[in-house]
Amino acid sequence: MVVVGAGISGIGAACHLRSRHPVRSFVVLEALETFGGTWWTHRYPGVRSDSDLFTFGYAFKPWKGAPLASGEAIRAYLGEVIAEHGLDVAIRYRHRVQSASWSSADRHWRLVVRREDSGEQLVVIASFLWMCQGYYRHAEGYTPEWEGMARFEGRIVHPQHWPEDLDYTAKRVVVIGSGATAATLVPALAADAAHVTMVQRSPTFYYARPNVNELADTLRALDIPDEWTHEIVRRKSIADLEAAARLSFERPEELRELLVEGIRPLLPDGFDVERHFSPSYRPWQQRIAVVPDGDLFAAIREGRASIVTDNIDHFSERGIRLASGEELEADIVVTATGFDLALLGDVDLVVDGEKVDVARCVTYRGIMFTGVPNLAYVFGYFRFSWTLRADLVSDFVCRLLRSMEERGATMVVPALRDADAGMPLGPWVDPEDFNPGYLARSLHRMPRQGDRAPWRLEQDYLVERDLLAAADFADGCLRFD
């Protein structure tokens, strides 16, 4: 069995396999030189989670630090998990899966793997393929093309590829973007730069919170075991996330007011909060960026950073010319403009000699795809922490593997039942529900979903927690052989 990816999803999958299927042999193939995925490739100043680690961490591994953690702290946590579960021997670094071909006659996947350190090409045979690469294309971030970029005399960098030699001390820095990455970068850069200006085409919702968890601190002070503290705080965090998500649908204007008015006291008197921090879309239709200790707003309040809401007309030699005619002079421009989504890690799939067009498949529970045997895919939540769904998927896959063993089956493939064949199909995620740019740019390449279970990707942890645990493998949607 092969797990692809040694980020938070792949490490979690390997832990579940180790504990639930101790005699099953598996290997984890990771294209990068070490573990961590996003938390290894993203090394820009201040890099941190904007999901609390009580839910972004694993259910089986207590988190003992601040709720919003640095990339370094997250990698240390993952390193502990690898060591505690003896996964070092199972992970092969710098092994990039390029293609995967399934043979129904042989009942296995044939993976073509490139060793990034030597260029050697290997063939790996797998009975089951578990795709855990996340959804970032690590090789490149997304940067729009603006007129005049080539003539800009300063330096243009993308956070996903932060240069080690970049010195921004006493420099004028412009950060283009308004999401979690921009909100992280601006205060981190403002500590040493001459000034940082955040340029956004449109606003983002922000939530400023102290980087402490009072419940966790209270339980720790009472010497409650770490495992209990982790589970109690995890449940409380999930309840809070669920309440916010429900409010975004049932009373969106109330949530908008809570978010906007929550940051107003953190900004200078007279600051145009509505212009810069009140988006046109419904709260949670895109991610709400969490700002620990309000550091972004502190940088603005103290004059070390500023924010401009406008369109970029073009780059000049000295900086950026806005649609309003204003010119922002800059020594460095950071394009925090998002990433490109890499479906299934950009691995080419072939089933019995036919190339798989995943966009023509229908998802089974957001985990498997019609017509594609012995393959599971981890795609996390947007509103909840990614790892909450990764844990649910791991439990589901382990139960599926057990069911295959009990049936004596060597192949399982989702297939639409006659009653489902004519159902309406929609995109992987409904744009009316959630529509960030990286998703909108990639929906045409992603699987479709139906209008009923189990042919849907649910984006609600509390719903899926029950649905996946109760999944009936004998309902005719999975064909075992």
**Where do the structural domains in the chain lie, given as residue ranges?**
2-138+340-480, 143-337
Element (H, E) at 124: strand 121-126
Q: Which two tokens stand for residue 38?
A: 């996003």
Measured CA to CA, the distance from residue 400 to residue 410 in angstroms comes to 12
Sign of CA dihedral 177, 183, 189, 195: positive
Whether 333 contacts 193, CB under 8 Å: no
Helix 226-250 vs helix 461-469: crossing angle, to nearest 10: 110
Domain 143-337 superfamily per CATH:
FAD/NAD(P)-binding domain (3.50.50.60)
Full pLDDT tens readout for the chain, 481 residues: 999 999 999 999 999 999 999 999 999 999 999 999 989 999 999 999 988 999 999 999 999 999 999 999 999 999 999 999 999 999 999 999 999 999 999 999 999 999 999 999 999 999 999 999 988 777 778 888 999 999 999 999 999 999 999 999 999 999 999 989 999 999 999 999 999 999 999 999 999 999 999 999 999 999 999 999 999 999 999 999 999 989 999 999 999 999 999 999 999 999 999 999 999 999 988 889 999 999 999 999 999 999 999 999 999 999 999 999 999 999 999 999 888 788 888 899 999 999 999 999 999 999 999 999 999 999 988 888 999 999 999 999 999 999 999 999 999 999 999 999 999 999 988 877 776 777 778 788 899 999 999 999 988 899 999 999 999 999 999 999 9
Q: Are strands 121-126 and 412-414 parallel, antiparallel or unpaired?
A: unpaired
Does the pTM exceed 0.85?
A: yes
Burial 394-423 (b: 16+ CB within 10 A, else e): bbbbbebbebbeeeeebbbbbebeeebeee
Please provide the distance, in angstroms rounded to a whole number, between the alpha carbons at the two ends of the chain. Answer: 18
R_g of the chain computed on alpha carbons: 23
Beta bridge mates, 208: 291
Type and span of the H or E element at 137: strand 136-141
CB 128 within 8 A of CB 17: no
Q: Which CATH architecture has domain 2-138+340-480?
A: 3-Layer(bba) Sandwich (3.50)
Nearest by Cα to 130 from 28, 38, 39: 28
CA angle 176, 180, 184 (to 5 degrees): 80
Task: Check residue 284 and give left, alpha or beta (phi > 0: left; psi -120 to 50: alpha).
Answer: left
Q: Which of 277, 465, 475, 231 is nearest to 364 (CA)?
A: 475
Extract the tokens encoding 206.
Answer: 């922000």
| DSSP single-letter state for residue 428 | S
Indicate if 143-337 has the same CATH topology as 2-138+340-480.
Answer: yes
**For residues 183 and 291, what is the distance between their CA atoms, to the nearest angstrom?**
7
Helices marked H in 223-268 — which ranges?
A: 226-250, 252-263
Specify whether the CB–CB gap between 305 and 196 falls below 8 A.
yes
Q: Give the distance, in angstroms, between the CA of residue 368 and the centroid of all CA atoms in the same chain.
A: 19
H-type helices in 62-128, by residue range?
Answer: 71-84
Residue 287 is given by DSSP the state P
Q: Identify residue 372 by its one-letter amino acid code.
A: V
Question: Of all helices (H) and strands (E), which one includes residue 2?
Answer: strand 2-4
Count the alpha carbons within 13 Å of 169 in the hemisphere toward its beta carbon.
2
- No. of helices (H) and no. of strands (E), the chain: 13, 26
